Amino acid sequence: DVKVTQSSRYLVKRTGEKVFLECVQDMDHENMFWYRQDPGLGLRLIYFSYDVKMKEKGDIPEGYSVSREKKERFSLILESASTNQTSMYLCASSPRQVSSYNEQFFGPGTRLTVL
Amino acid sequence: GQNIDQPTEMTATEGAIVQINCTYQTSGFNGLFWYQQHAGEAPTFLSYNVLDGLEEKGRFSSFLSRSKGYSYLLLKELQMKDSASYLCAVLRSNDYKLSFGAGTTVTVRA
C-alpha cells in the first residue's frame, strides 16, 4: 500500500524560528512535492523535486527552501518563520513518468502555526 | 496563468445525487484530476480525465469538456461517508504540475 508520511501532524513555532518539515515516501517515487493548503485558495505548489539533490521552484517558493538528500525523503525548510506561513502543509509523491497520467499520493499534512 | 473555479459548499441528502462543477482557464491543459479529502486527512485520488466524455467508476463519475473548459464530478447514491472536500486539479501541459481549485465541501445529511 502506497504511503507518504509527514513527521508532525501539528506544529507551533515562533516568528523567526527555523522550521523543518519532513516527508518520507515508501514507494520509490522519483517526484516529490510540497504544497500549502489555505481556505479559499486550495493547494499551492511550493517546491518540487524530481530526483535526489534536484529541486524546482513551484508557484509560491518565497520564504521556503527544500532538501532532498535521499530519494525517499523531502524536507521543507522555513529559514525564518513568519505568521503568514501559518498553514496546512501537504507533501506528495509520484512516479517519474512525466506524462499525461501523473497521479500524486499525498501525506496527511502538517498544520503549522507561527505565533 | 491558471484560474480554476468550483463552488465552495454543497449540501445533499443521503441517497441523493450531487454534481460538483469545475471550470478552468489555464495556459496549458493535459488532463483533469478529482481528489477527495476528508477533514484532517490526505487528499485521495478519485478520477482522471484527459479526453472529452464521461468516466464512470462505481458511484462516482467524472465528465470533461475540453472545448468548454468544464468538468463535473457526479456522486450518486450519496452516503454519509461522502461528506468531504472535493478538489478539482488541472495538469498543466507546460510543466506537468497540478493547479488546484479551492475545493468544494460536500455535506451529506440524513
- Return d(Cα B78, Cα B16) in angstroms, integer: 5
Using a 10 angstrom Cβ sphere, with 0-12 exposed, 13-18 middle and 19 or more buried, the burial of residue A71 is: middle
Closest CA to B35 of A66, A35, A77: A35
Q: Which amino acid, one-letter code, is at B99?
A: S
Predicted local distance difference test score (pLDDT) of residue A14:
97
Q: What is the pLDDT of residue A57?
A: 95
- Closest-CA residue of chain B to A47: B97
How far, in Å, CA of A51 to CA of A94, rounded? 11
Pairs of residues, one from chain A and one from chain B, whose beta carbons lie less than 8 Å apart: 53
Q: Per residue in B14-67, pLDDT tens?
A: 999 999 999 999 878 889 999 999 998 999 999 999 999 999 999 999 999 999
Q: Is B12 on the interface with A (CB under 8 A)?
A: no
Strands A110-114, A10-13: pairing kind: parallel
Looking at residue B96, its pLDDT comes to: 77
Burial pattern B74-97, b for ≥16 Cβ within 10 A else e, equals ebeebeeebbbbbbbbbbbeeebb
Residue A82 in contact with residue A15, Cβ under 8 Å? yes
The 10s digit of each residue's pLDDT in B77-98 is: 999 999 999 999 998 887 778 9
- Which residue's entry shows cell 486527512? B41
Identify the residue whose cell numbers are 486539479. B89
- Report CA torsion sign: A48, A52, A53, A54: negative
Grid coordinates representing A60 are 509560491
A1 CB burial (10 A radius; 0-12, 13-18, 19+): exposed
Band of residue A100 on the pLDDT scale cut at 50, 70, 90: low
d(CA B64, CA B68): 9
C-alpha distance from B13 to closest chain A C-alpha (Å): 25
- Model confidence pLDDT, tens digit, residues A32-82: 999 999 998 999 999 999 999 999 999 999 999 999 999 999 999 999 999
- What is the rounded CA–CA span in Å between residue B11 and residue B98? 27
Give the nearest partner residue to B97 out of A42, A45, A109, using CB atoms. Answer: A45
Identify which of B30, B45, B100 has the shortest CB distance to residue A103: B45
Are A100 and B30 an interchain contact pair (Cβ–Cβ within 8 Å)? yes
